[in-house]
C-alpha cells in the first residue's frame, strides 16, 4: 500500500515537473501582439504570456470602457451626466449667465458657466451612462487605462478651467443682473 502511494506521488511529481519544463522552454518565444478583432485571437496565445508593460501594451478593443474625458468647451452644464450616474462620481456646479456665452461645436448655445466639473474615477464604475445622456457628446470614454495612483484624491479629475476669482466675478455679475431685473419689475 505504501509502495503504491509512493509510486503515485512520484509519478504525479514527475508530471508536474515535465509540465513546468515544457512551459519554461515554451516561454522562450515572445508572444506577438495580435489585434483583438482577429477571429482567431484566442488561438494565437503561444509564448510568453506576460506583457512587458510599459514597453508593450495589450491591444484595446474599440468598445472598451476606460477613463472619462470631458471637452469642457462643448459642455452646456446641463447636469444630465451627474443625474444619470448611479454612483454619484460626477460633481458639477453651474453659474448662470445673463446672456449667451458662446456655442458648442454642434451649435448648442451655452448659457451656464462650469464653476466646477469634477469626476471621481475612484468611484466610477465605468458603465458609460454619462456618455449616453450627454446632448453635446462632450463627455466620452477614452482609451486611457493606466492612470494609477497611491492616493484616492489623485483620482478626482477637475475639468473646469475657471479660477476662484473668475467664479466670484461671474457670481457677482449674476447677482447684479438679478437685482436689476427685480428693480425693473418693481417700478
Q: Give the chain's count of helices (H) and strands (E).
A: 4, 7
Fold of 68-162: Alpha-Beta Plaits (3.30.70)
Cα–Cα distance between 128 and 64 in angstroms, integer? 10
> Are 174 and 97 a contacting pair, CB within 8 Å?
yes
- Cα→Cα distances 175→27, 114, 168, 185, Å: 69, 17, 10, 15
pTM of the model: 0.67
Three-state DSSP class for residue 110: strand
Cα–Cα distance between 9 and 143 in angstroms, integer? 49
Q: Determine if the peptide bond prior to 54 is cis (ω within 30°).
A: yes
Cα–Cα distance between 115 and 95 in angstroms, integer? 6
Nearest Cα neighbor of 64 from 140, 136, 156 is 140
Per residue in 53-72, pLDDT tens? 777 777 777 777 788 999 99
Whole-number pLDDT of residue 34: 65
Q: Chunked in runs of 10, what are the mean pLDDT values of the chain (187 residues)?
A: 90 93 71 68 63 73 83 91 95 89 86 92 92 92 82 91 89 88 83
Specify the long-range contacts of residues 83-88, CB closer than 8 Å, at least 24 apart: 83/133, 84/129, 84/130, 84/132, 84/133, 85/129, 85/130, 86/125, 86/127, 86/129, 87/123, 87/124, 87/125, 88/123
Whole-number pLDDT of residue 46: 61
Q: Is 95 left (phi over 0), alpha (psi -120 to 50) or beta?
A: beta
Whole-number pLDDT of residue 187: 73
Whole-number pLDDT of residue 33: 64
Whole-number pLDDT of residue 30: 58
Cα–Cα distance between 51 and 32 in angstroms, integer? 10
CB proximity list for 183: less than 8 A, separation 6 or greater: none
Amino acid at each position: 500500500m505504501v509502495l503504491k502511494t509512493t509510486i503515485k506521488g512520484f509519478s504525479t511529481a514527475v508530471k508536474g515537473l515535465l509540465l513546468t519544463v515544457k512551459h519554461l522552454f515554451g516561454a522562450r518565444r515572445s508572444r506577438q501582439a495580435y489585434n483583438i478583432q482577429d477571429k482567431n485571437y484566442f488561438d494565437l496565445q503561444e509564448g510568453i504570456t506576460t506583457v512587458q508593460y510599459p514597453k508593450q501594451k495589450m491591444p484595446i478593443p474599440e468598445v472598451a470602457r476606460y477613463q472619462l474625458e470631458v471637452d469642457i468647451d462643448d459642455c452646456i452644464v446641463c447636469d444630465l451626466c451627474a443625474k444619470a450616474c448611479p454612483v454619484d462620481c460626477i460633481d458639477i456646479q453651474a453659474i448662470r449667465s445673463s446672456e449667451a456665452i458662446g456655442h458648442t461645436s454642434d451649435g448648442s448655445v451655452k448659457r451656464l458657466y462650469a464653476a466646477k466639473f469634477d469626476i471621481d474615477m475612484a468611484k466610477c464604475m465605468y458603465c458609460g451612462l454619462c456618455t449616453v445622456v450627454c446632448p453635446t457628446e462632450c463627455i466620452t470614454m477614452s482609451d486611457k487605462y493606466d492612470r494609477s495612483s497611491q492616493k484616492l484624491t489623485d483620482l478626482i479629475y477637475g475639468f473646469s478651467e475657471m479660477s476662484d476669482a473668475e467664479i466670484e466675478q461671474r457670481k457677482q455679475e449674476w447677482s447684479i443682473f438679478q437685482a436689476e431685473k427685480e428693480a425693473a419689475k418693481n417700478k
